[in-house]
Amino acid sequence: MMVEGRVVYLGGRYCPWDEANVPIMSHSFARGSAIFEVIAFTDTPAGPAVFRLDEHCARFFGSACLLGMEPPLTPAELHEAVLETVRRSGLAAGLIKVFGFYPEVSSGVLPPGQRFQVAVFVFAPDEPPGGNGGRAGGSATACVSTWRRLDPQTVPVEAKVAANYINGMVARAEARKRGFDMAVLLDTQGFLAEGATESLFLVRGGRLLTPSLGTVLQSITRKSLLAVAEAMGIETVTGRLSPVLLEDAEELFLSSTSARVLPIRQIDGRRLAGVPGAVTSRLANGIAAIASGRDERFRGWLFPTV
C-alpha cells in the first residue's frame, strides 16, 4: 500500500502511519474486543465529502454502549477527527476505518478498563489489498452458506465488533472454496439474513425486498437504499424472508459501504438474466448521484471536509 506519509488519528493526536501500533497481547487483538466503522468519502464539486458521517458516528457509539465500552471522546470530537484525518490524507475519495480498541496488554476475558482508545485510518479506493469481493460497477456470484448468521441471543449482532466478523469470514471462505465470490447467510431460524459483510436485497414483482432488522446489522447503506427507493416510488418490503425467494427473484444484489450496490448474476446453480436489472440499476445510479453531490434532495447526507 502507498501509505508512506499517510497520517493516522490515534488517541487524540495525529501521527505517521507506522507509529500507529499496539502490543500483540493487547486485549482487543487477543480477544477481538475492537469496535469499528467503515465509512466512504467521495469526490464532489465542493471537494471530498464523507457519506453519512453522523449515522456512522452514532452507530460507533451505539456499539460501544452495547459492549459497555467507555468512549474517550465525544461524538463531535470523533466527527472532527474523521474529517481532519481525511483532510490530512490528501485523497479525493476512498474509505475511512474508525477503530475503538483496548491497547493495554491483558490476558483476561474482561478488558483491564472500560475506557478505550480511538484510531482513524484513511485509505485510497484500491487500499487495503484484499477488498471485500466486489466493487461498485461490477457483479458477483454467490451461494447460500452452510454457516448461519450469529443469533442475537448469543452476542449483540447490532454491534460492529471485530470478534463477530469471524462469522462472515468462515462463510466467505466457504463460498470461495465452492467457486463463488460471495456468501448469503440464513439466520438460525432458516430465514434469509445477509451476506458475509453485506446487506441482501431481492427484487420480485418490481418490489424491493430485504430481511428485517433483528438478526442483521443495522447497515447504513441498507438504510440509505431503502430511503432512495422510497424517493423513487419503488415499493419496499422488510420481513422474515424465505430462502425460496432466491429461486424466482428477478434481481438480487448485496450492498455495503465499499461496494454500494453489487449485483448478483448467479446464486448457487441459478443464473440471473439481464444483470444488473432495472431496479438495481436505478438504485445504483441513485446512490452514486447522491454520493457525488449531484442530488440536492440528499445533500444532508454529505459532510464536506473543506
Residue 103 has pLDDT above 50, yes or no: yes
Lookup: cell for 242: 424465505
3-state helix, strand, coil in the chain (%, to 5): 30, 30, 40
What pLDDT was estimated at residue 261?
Answer: 97
Q: How far apart are the two ends of the chain, measured CA to CA in Å?
A: 26
Give percent of the chain above pLDDT 90.
91
State the burial class of residue 306 (Cβ atoms within 10 Å of its Cβ: 0-12, 13-18, 19+). Answer: exposed
The tens digit of pLDDT for each residue in 236-249 reads: 999 999 999 999 99
For the whole model, what pTM was predicted? 0.94
Distance CA 158, CA 152 (A): 8
Question: Helix (H, G, I), strand (E, B), or coil: what is residue 221?
Answer: helix
What pLDDT was estimated at residue 1?
Answer: 56
Q: Are 280 and 263 in contact (CB under 8 A)?
A: yes
Distance CA 285, CA 225 (A): 11
What pLDDT was estimated at residue 135?
Answer: 47
> Checking DSSP bridges between strand 35-44 and strand 94-101, what pairing results, if any?
antiparallel
Distance CA 165, CA 149 (A): 10
Question: Helix (H, G, I), strand (E, B), or coil: what is residue 100?
Answer: strand
Q: List, in order of start, the domains of the chain with CATH numbers.
A: 7-123 (3.30.470.10), 140-291 (3.20.10.10)
Distance CA 84, CA 104 (A): 26
Q: How far is C-alpha 280 from the geometric centre of its chain's CA atoms?
A: 19
The tens digit of pLDDT for each residue in 250-298 reads: 999 999 999 999 999 999 999 999 999 999 999 999 999 999 999 999 9
Residue 97 has pLDDT above 70, yes or no: yes
